[in-house]
């Protein structure tokens, strides 16, 4: 069989090349507009002659469909924000090795293992998603009293069979812009639940992520995440190299339901909406390092939570919250060692907060160890400071083997004489 490279500059040339099994590499040599949905044949590579070459898909149309062993790099790909700009054919026997590299896109990147897709490896590197809206995709993981809206970038093994494993290596993933977030979650990786198919990723590395789930205020059973590792996902290393920011109600910034060996956040972690937690854990994290400020502004938006699972070792730079019901750090399960380098400070009083799908009243305590929560060691430099009236810096209903606080416990809001 003769294998060839073909340059294309029109819709007709592009579609003809993609349908030809003899064409292994398709090179887009000029911008092409109004492209109908396009499917790559197995083994084909699609690339641009330079990084500014763009394919603009027809309005109302999905974009580029991958089959197996495809590579796509050095292109701009534009679809409507709520359409799939890159997705995969789930009727093939396996993904083979899919490689996405150096892409600027508009629309949802949605890669699923389901139907006949029982194996495969996904490489995604340096993908910048300018705009996307994943809110219309109604397949959503469920657990802990809530459902999760998928992301602008979604990689999801949906199989129920635990033996089905998809592997991945994901670096340089960015989504949205400051003040112009993607809608739904930002970066979303998932397996098929705690007993279903597995997604095993060597790395998940992100740049700047800005997301807004568009969830109606007061909705108790729906959440999103700026970067979300969902049940059935096993990630050796998560690294947030840029800031991660969420803007709406119930928009967690960093959320883990899976299993992560090491999670490092080098950029600032910020949420603006109500009940939008900085880092929330329902799975297992062996080592957690947040090297920049966690800051939340919405009512009930806590800085750090461990509700289920555990975190064996965690280091924080600083945690600050600004609203009623916004606990600085709340521990409800046994954890290992927690270190905070520059203190925990809250500015709110008592208010509503979403906890496992139920809205409850919480005081904006700096450090709260709930019944069932415990720690081997907690060391906080910079103190525990609260500014809300009648809000204690420390709430201790569980066990801490070793507690070290330098900088004092300060209840700046006073008001305790009224209790």
* 357 has a pLDDT exceeding 90: no
Can you read off the two tokens belonging to residue 199?
């997604």
How far is the C-alpha of 96 from the C-alpha of 117, rounded, in Å?
9
Residue 419's pLDDT is 44
The alpha-carbon radius of gyration of the chain (Å, integer) is 23
User: What contacts 12, CB < 8 A, 6 or more positions away?
Assistant: none
* 335 has a pLDDT exceeding 70: yes
Task: Tell me phi and psi for residue 12, to 5 degrees.
Answer: -60, -45
Share of the chain above pLDDT 70, in %: 98
Residue 416's pLDDT is 63
Residue 353's pLDDT is 79
What does the pLDDT look like over 234-280, one tens digit per residue? 999 999 999 999 999 999 999 999 999 999 999 999 999 999 999 99
**Residue 172: domain span:** 4-418
Q: How far is CA 52 from CA 10, 111, 346, 371, in A?
A: 16, 24, 46, 56
b (16+ CB within 10 A) / e for 353-362? bbbeeebeeb
* 3 has a pLDDT exceeding 80: no
Could you tell me how far CA 272 lies from the centroid of its own chain? 16
Average pLDDT over residues 100-115: 98
* 1 has a pLDDT exceeding 60: no
Neighbours of 24 (CB within 10 A): 16
Average pLDDT over residues 364-379: 96
Average pLDDT over residues 146-168: 98
Which has the closest alpha carbon to 192: 166, 216, 227?
Answer: 166
Average pLDDT over residues 152-156: 98
What does the pLDDT look like over 181-240, one tens digit per residue? 999 999 999 999 999 999 999 999 999 999 999 999 989 999 999 999 999 999 999 999
Average pLDDT over residues 132-144: 96
Which has the closest alpha carbon to 214: 257, 250, 187, 189?
Answer: 250
Residue 323's pLDDT is 97
Please tell me the least confidently modeled range out of 2-6, 165-169, 296-300.
Answer: 2-6
CB-side neighbour CA atoms (13 Å) of 146: 25
How far is the C-alpha of 8 from the C-alpha of 16, rounded, in Å?
9
Burial-class residue 94 by CB neighbours within 10 Å (0-12, 13-18, 19+): middle
Instruction: With beta carbons less than 8 A apart as the criterion, state whether 309 and 333 touch.
Output: yes
One-letter-per-residue 3-state SS of the chain:
CCCEEEEECCHHHHHHHHCCCCEEEEEECCCEEEECCEECCCCCEEEECCCCCEEEECCCCCCEEECCCCEEEEEEEECCCCCEEEEECCCCCCCCEEEEEEEEEECEEEEEECCCCCCCEEEEEEEEEEECECCCCCCCCEECCEEECCEEEEEEECCCCCCCEEEEEEEEEEECECCECEECEEEEEECCCCCCCEEEEEEEEEEEEEEECCCCCCCCCEEEEEEEECCCEEEEEEEECCCEEECCCCEEEEEECCEEEEEEECCCEEECCCCCCCEEECCEEEEEEEEEEEEECCCCCCCEEECCCEEEEEEEEEEEECCCCCCCEEECCEEEEEEECCCEEECCCEEEEEECCEEEEEECCCEEECCCCEEEEEEEECCEEECCCCCCCEEECCEEEEEEEECCEEECCCCHHHC
How far is the C-alpha of 385 from the C-alpha of 411, rounded, in Å?
6
Across the chain, mean pLDDT equals 95
How far is the C-alpha of 217 from the C-alpha of 249, rounded, in Å?
6
Q: 383: alpha, beta or left, given left = phi > 0 and alpha = psi -120 to 50?
A: left
Rounded to two decimals, the pTM is: 0.96
User: What contacts 355, CB < 8 A, 6 or more positions away?
Assistant: 307, 362
The count of structural domains within the chain is: 1
Average pLDDT over residues 277-300: 97
Beta bridge partners of 26: 6, 46
What does the pLDDT look like over 115-135, one tens digit per residue? 999 999 999 999 999 999 999
């Amino acid at each position: 069989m003769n294998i060839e490279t073909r340059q294309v500059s029109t819709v007709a040339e592009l579609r003809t090349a993609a349908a030809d099994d003899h064409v292994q590499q398709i090179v887009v040599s000029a911008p092409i507009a109004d492209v109908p949905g396009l499917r790559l044949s197995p083994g084909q590579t699609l690339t641009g002659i330079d990084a500014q070459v763009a394919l603009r898909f027809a309005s109302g149309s999905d974009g580029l469909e991958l089959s197996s062993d495809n590579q796509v790099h050095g292109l701009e790909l534009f679809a409507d924000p709520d359409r799939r700009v890159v997705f995969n054919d789930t009727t093939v026997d396996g993904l083979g090795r899919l490689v996405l590299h150096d892409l600027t896109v508009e629309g949802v990147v949605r890669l699923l293992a389901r139907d006949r897709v029982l194996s495969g490896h996904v490489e995604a590197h340096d993908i910048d998603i300018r705009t996307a809206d994943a809110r219309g995709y109604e397949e959503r993981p469920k657990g802990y009293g809530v459902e999760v809206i998928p992301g602008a970038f979604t990689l999801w093994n949906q199989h129920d069979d635990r033996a089905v494993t998809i592997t991945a290596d994901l670096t340089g993933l960015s989504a949205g812009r400051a003040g112009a977030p993607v809608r739904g979650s930002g970066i979303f990786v998932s397996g098929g639940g705690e007993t279903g198919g597995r997604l095993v990723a060597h790395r998940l590395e992100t740049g700047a992520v800005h997301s807004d789930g568009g969830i109606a205020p007061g909705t108790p059973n729906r959440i999103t995440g700026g970067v979300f590792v969902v049940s059935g996902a096993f990630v050796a290393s998560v690294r947030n190299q840029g800031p991660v920011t969420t803007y709406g109600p119930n928009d967690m910034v960093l959320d883990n339901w899976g299993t992560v060996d090491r999670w490092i956040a080098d950029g600032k972690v910020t949420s603006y909406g109500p009940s939008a937690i900085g880092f929330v854990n329902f799975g297992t994290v062996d080592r957690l390092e947040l090297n920049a400020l966690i800051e939340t502004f919405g009512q009930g938006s806590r800085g750090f939570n461990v509700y289920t699972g555990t975190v064996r070792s965690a280091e924080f730079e600083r945690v600050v919250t600004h609203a009623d019901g916004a606990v600085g750090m709340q521990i409800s399960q046994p954890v290992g060692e927690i270190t905070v380098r520059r203190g925990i400070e809250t500015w709110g009083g008592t208010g509503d907060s979403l906890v496992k799908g139920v809205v409850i009243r919480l005081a904006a305590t700096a450090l709260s160890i709930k019944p069932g929560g415990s720690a081997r060691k907690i060391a906080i430099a910079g103190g525990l400071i609260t500014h809300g009236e009648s809000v204690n810096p420390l709430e201790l209903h569980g066990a801490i083997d070793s507690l070290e606080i330098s900088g004092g416990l300060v209840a700046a809001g006073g008001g305790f004489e009224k209790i």
